[in-house]
Structure 1
Amino acid sequence: MDVEAPLPREKSKQTYPDGFPVSLGDIKPLLDMTSIAATAETFHKYSDRDTQRGPEQEKTLPLSDYFRILWELSVALQDETIHLSSRHLMPGSTSFIMSNISASSNLEEAMRLIAKSYNLLHGGPYNRVEVRGDTLLYIIDDSQFPYMTRKEDYIHFTMECVLIYLHGILSFITSRDLRPLLRKVYTKRSRGPMNSRHMDFWTVPVRYQSGQYTLTYDLTAAQLPITINQQRLPSSREIYDHVIEMIEQSAPGTSSPLNSTDRVRQAIDLGLLDQPSVARHLGLSVATLRRRLSLEKTTFRQVVRLVLNQKSLDLMSQGVHISDIAEELGFSDFRSFIRAFKNWNGLTPTAYIKAQTKK
């Protein structure tokens, strides 16, 4: 039986960066993992907290931090299922899936290949895609899935977040926000109060007590083109970054969101220097990114120039050699960097350094 309609819940008095607080108790099996490297900073930030005592705000974390923990643990454990399945997914599984779908002509074809790829990796027919009337469905039937745990609430929470992650993947590979095309979300959880508010992420009806976990899109989504670059396939980290950004930008009432120029600056700082790569990282089409920057009275080329110039000035102030700066900023040789620097500042790097020395 399907039960629809979100439950009225008391609003949390705590403010969360993404608006979707997650109970530490709901992810206790994750936080109880031992021998996790210190580099998993977000994991260690929450793993030592006492979920039974202490102030209420110490018993929750933002949904975006939950996904940061998943990324950290996938690296630390070398398992992209985070030990959820007895059949581990080795690092590179996401890249394998991206490779499989990179030549897809549209979203429906890509969704079917994603389902087929996950079934191959997990060793069972757990994923499928169907067209029903005017809707396109991605269905996860986990009734025979080899879970490492039998904790039902934890499985429900995890699979509901898998749907968020999957929605993020589909948005990423089409370079657009798919929420306007989403029609309904299905979960196997029984209708009732929940400790976490991760399901508030969805802006469409949620059906409880379903037989599977499902995302239902309008059929018009089926023909959306796939925009990932076959020559530079996205990494698992890029997918997680996109999902995290999607969550943080979804919260109602989110204050002071970064403008497009600042978001492009951040992407360039990550080493993405061409416009298609930055647009994909931000979940936008190149045309949309160009239009948004134009509204802010700038261009992608101007933002790149400002970021690279500031980096070069910072490195010079630290005494870094010109040839090393050129390499750090991605120039083919130091002469190209010298020409660019002179174009940016009206002085060669050497002349600039001498001028600064005299001050």
Structure 2
Amino acid sequence: MAQATILLEQIRPILELAETSGIDIASLVQKPVRPGAPMRDDTLPADISIADYFRLQRDIARASDDLTARFSSRKLTYKTGHFVVSQLQQAKSLLAAMESLVEHFNMMHGDAYNSLRFSGNRVSLVVDDSSFPYRFRGNQDLVELIGDCLLIKTHCLLDSLSNGRADEALQRVRLLRRRGTVIESQNRFWSVSVDYGTPTYELVYDFDLACQPLRIRDAVDLSTDGLFARVISYLEDHAAQEDHKSVTARTLDLIDGGLTLQNDVARKLGMSVATHRRRLSEEGSHFRNLLLETKLRRAEAMLKRGCSVAHTTEELSYSDIRAFNRAFKRWKGLTPAAFAQAFQS
């Protein structure tokens, strides 16, 4: 699996969409951007990792309460990510997980965009997005990139749940885009043969391997971030790169995915709690502060969506509104009610 990247020039409309959603792009691309600077400013790097692309998509989805990250004109509530993962975790084989994914995404999107096709000793997960209501339908290059990345996300989700069975069973990949003189940077992800210019997107798996019984993983999270958290964590774990993300960044990803105990986070990162605490300290971080930061970021997103202070307090499991008010004011300099009012105005 090679390092997959996304050229920022290709996703300029998505970056602009992120800005309108209140997303801090600079923190994602890890390079400072001057306040008010145009997107083409040379402070932006040329590309970002595929994991960072999904972080961007996740943040837009969370801020807008739309699992499609506003890529579709038909909204899906963000918590449907939890629903999809919880259904997949009940599967007893890779094939059953594929059937579940097809059924539930078709049900949520209200049309048969996904299907399974059987041929000889192979089973294909087929995605036909020819009539999907993309917000960017007029930008064919961007729509094809979104489709390429959707296939990557789907495979990562299946492989993360099946303990590597999907990667073992994958035979080939089929893409709508025509073959160019250079392989698009995002498609360096694939280590199997890629067919270009096909009528639909396809992940082609070995049928016998897909039918073998397995215990779908259920130890990570069942949070509303379950879908994105699994994909991002999977990509981080499998990234063949020398410049790994900091322990702080990886810890934040796991907290975003629903892990709130340092024992669980340290175990996921393959280190003891003492080592995890030391590595965070070396980076100027503390687990308790990262936990609080994540909770307050969620609070900010909820208030921007128009949630009441009382509902936000309850959702984030604060003991009472006064405790939430104090924590939020220390972070933002405003009470939650004042912040929400300022944002709406």
**TM-score calculated relative to the size of structure 2:** 0.66
Q: Which residue of the partner structure matches residue 336 of structure 2?
A: none
Unaligned runs of at least 5 residues, structure 2:
287-345
Q: Which residue of the partner structure matches residue 198 of structure 2?
A: 210
Paired amino acid for 1:212? T
Q: Which residue of the partner structure matches residue 210 of structure 2?
A: 221
- Going from structure 1 to structure 2, the CA distance change for 1:236 and 1:209 (only over 3 Å counts) comes to farther
Identity of aligned residues (%): 25
* 2: CA distance, partners of 1:51 / 1:180: 40
Farther-moved stretch of structure 1 (263-272 vs 218-227) = 263-272
Paired amino acid for 1:35? T
* 2: CA distance, partners of 1:19 / 1:309: 29
Deviations 1:103-162 (A, max 9, x none): 222221121111110001111000112332212211101122122222111111001101
**Superposed displacement of residue 76, structure 1:** 1.1
Query: Cα RMSD over matched residues?
Result: 4.1
Paired amino acid for 2:109? H
Q: Which residue of the partner structure matches residue 22 of structure 2?
A: 37
CA contact (8 A) 1:26 1:196 kept: no
Paired amino acid for 1:102? Q
* 2: CA distance, partners of 1:195 / 1:77: 33
Farther-moved stretch of structure 1 (139-148 vs 110-119) = 139-148
Q: Which residue of the partner structure matches residue 229 of structure 2?
A: 241
CA contact (8 A) 2:93 2:216 kept: no
Larger of the two Rg values belongs to structure: 1
CA contact (8 A) 2:106 2:112 kept: yes
Unaligned runs of at least 5 residues, structure 1:
1-17, 283-292, 294-299, 316-359
Q: Which residue of the partner structure matches residue 86 of structure 1?
A: 73
Q: Does 1:160 align with 2:148?
A: yes
Deviations 1:37-69 (A, max 9, x none): 2566427968877665648x7332222211110
- Going from structure 1 to structure 2, the CA distance change for 1:189 and 1:224 (only over 3 Å counts) comes to farther
Q: Does 1:180 align with 2:164?
A: no
SS at structure 2 position matched to 1:100: helix
Equivalent of 2:133 in 146, 160, 164: 146
* 1: CA distance, partners of 2:39 / 2:251: 38
Q: Which residue of the partner structure matches residue 117 of structure 1?
A: 104
- Going from structure 1 to structure 2, the CA distance change for 1:273 and 1:129 (only over 3 Å counts) comes to farther
SS at structure 1 position matched to 2:20: coil
**TM-score calculated relative to the size of structure 1:** 0.63
CA contact (8 A) 1:131 1:137 kept: yes
CA contact (8 A) 1:23 1:59 kept: yes
Q: Which residue of the partner structure matches residue 64 of structure 2?
A: 77
* 2: CA distance, partners of 1:310 / 1:191: 44
- Going from structure 1 to structure 2, the CA distance change for 1:247 and 1:308 (only over 3 Å counts) comes to closer
- Going from structure 1 to structure 2, the CA distance change for 1:200 and 1:185 (only over 3 Å counts) comes to same
CA contact (8 A) 1:51 1:58 kept: no
Deviations 1:300-353 (A, max 9, x none): 8xx247658999xx99xxxxxxxxxxxxxxxxxxxxxxxxxxxxxxxxxxxxxx
SS at structure 1 position matched to 2:172: strand
SS at structure 1 position matched to 2:45: helix
**Superposed displacement of residue 203, structure 1:** 0.6
Paired amino acid for 2:14? L
Paired amino acid for 1:168? C
SS at structure 2 position matched to 1:178: helix
Q: Which residue of the partner structure matches residue 123 of structure 2?
A: 136
- Going from structure 1 to structure 2, the CA distance change for 1:43 and 1:91 (only over 3 Å counts) comes to farther
CA contact (8 A) 1:267 1:278 kept: no
Q: Which residue of the partner structure matches residue 46 of structure 2?
A: 59
**Superposed displacement of residue 101, structure 1:** 2.8
- Going from structure 1 to structure 2, the CA distance change for 1:138 and 1:210 (only over 3 Å counts) comes to same
Paired amino acid for 1:118? F
**Superposed displacement of residue 183, structure 1:** 0.9
* 2: CA distance, partners of 1:190 / 1:309: 49
* 1: CA distance, partners of 2:176 / 2:192: 17
Q: Does 1:101 align with 2:88?
A: yes
- Going from structure 1 to structure 2, the CA distance change for 1:160 and 1:256 (only over 3 Å counts) comes to closer
* 2: CA distance, partners of 1:46 / 1:211: 41
**Superposed displacement of residue 264, structure 1:** 9.7
CA contact (8 A) 1:181 1:217 kept: yes
CA contact (8 A) 2:123 2:205 kept: yes
Q: Which residue of the partner structure matches residue 23 of structure 1?
A: 7
* 1: CA distance, partners of 2:46 / 2:37: 7
- Going from structure 1 to structure 2, the CA distance change for 1:237 and 1:145 (only over 3 Å counts) comes to same
CA contact (8 A) 2:8 2:47 kept: yes
CA contact (8 A) 2:60 2:70 kept: no
* 1: CA distance, partners of 2:184 / 2:6: 4
